[in-house]
Amino acid sequence: LLAGLPADTALSGSESSRAQQIQALAAMAQALPDLPPVAAPAYDPRPQSLLYCAASALPWHTSGYTTRTQALLRALLAQGVDLVALTRAGYPWDRADSSGTPEAMASSHEGLDWQHLRQPSQSLPLDIYIERASIGIARLAKARRVAAIHAASNHVNALPALIAARRLGIPFHYELRGLWEMSRAANVPGFAGTERHAL
C-alpha cells in the first residue's frame, strides 16, 4: 500500500517514521537479514565471563520476565560467573510505560549492576535498530572481554546480540523465555492469522 502512494504524497514526521518501520518489516518478511560469519576471536576473553542481555529489567518494569531475570542473574553470580548485565539498547528510554529511567549508563538494583545503552531507540526501523544495537553490544563485550554473550527472548533483544557475538568470534546463547507471538495469540483473538504473527 505504501509503495502505491503517489510520489508527492506528504507525510507528517510520525507518518514518515511509521512508514519506514513498516517498509523495514515488509522487507524482513520477504528475506531475513544475512548473519555475519563467525569471525576469528577479537580478543583474549576473561574466563567464566558472560554478557547477559535482557529485554527489560527491574525497577523500570515489574513483570514475570523482569522478576525471572533478577533471580537468574543472582543465581549466575552465586555460581561464580563474572557477569556483565545489559538492558536492551534504548531501554527503558524508548518505552512510554517504564517507571523512570537510569540516571547514568550504569546502575544498580537489589545487588545487581546493570549497563545501559541510551541509543538506538526501538522506534527506528527494525533493520537499522538491529545493526546499531549490535555495534553497542559488541563495543561493551570487547571492552569487558567477555567469553560469551547470552540474550533472552525476544528477537529484538537477541538478534543484535547474536550479530555482535559472531563479529567478535565468541559463543552466543539464546534463552528462549517463550514465544511472544504465541502468548499474544493466546490473548488476542485472530492474531495468529495476521502478518505480524507470521513475521
Q: How many CB atoms lie within 10 A of CB 31?
A: 7
pLDDT over 70 percentage in the chain: 100
Contact 171, 141 (CB under 8 A): no
pLDDT band at 196 (very low <50, low <70, confident <90, very high): confident
Question: In this structure, is residue 119 part of a structural domain?
Answer: yes
Q: What cell does 187 get?
A: 490473548
Q: What CATH number does the domain containing 90 carry?
A: 3.40.50.2000
Contact of 84 with 140, CB cutoff 8 Å:
yes
Q: What are phi and psi of 70, to 5 degrees?
A: -60, -45
Q: Give the pTM.
A: 0.90
pLDDT at 124: 93
Q: Among 154, 161, 110, 158, which Cα is nearest to 134's? A: 161
Per-residue pLDDT, 44: 97
Closest CA to 51 of 172, 148, 184, 136: 148
Interval 52-101: pLDDT, tens: 999 999 999 999 999 999 999 999 999 999 999 999 999 999 999 999 99
d(CA 74, CA 81): 10
Q: Render pLDDT for 125-144 as a digit per residue (tens, 0 to 9).
A: 999 999 999 999 999 999 99
In a domain, 38, yes or no: no
Query: What is the extent of the structural domain holding 89?
Result: 49-182
Q: Which of 34, 40, 37, 31 is nearest to 130 (CA)?
A: 34
Residue 44 located in a structural domain: no
pLDDT at 7 (0 to 100): 87
**Is residue 127 in a domain?**
yes
Q: In the prediction, which pLDDT does 177 show? A: 86
Give the pLDDT confidence score for residue 198 in this predicted structure. Answer: 86
Which amino acid type is present at position 117? Answer: L
- 100 belongs to a structural domain: yes
Q: Is residue 72 part of a domain?
A: yes
The letter for the amino acid at 53 is C
Q: How far apart, in whole angstroms, are the C-alpha atoms of residue 106 and residue 104?
A: 5
What backbone phi and psi angles, to 5 degrees, belong to 110?
Answer: 50, 50
Does some domain include residue 82? yes
Task: Tell me, yes or no, whether 70 lies in a domain.
Answer: yes
Distance CA 83, CA 112 (A): 9
Structural domain total, the chain = 1
Which position has the grid cell 560467573?
Answer: 81
Is the predicted pLDDT of residue 109 greater than 90, yes or no? yes
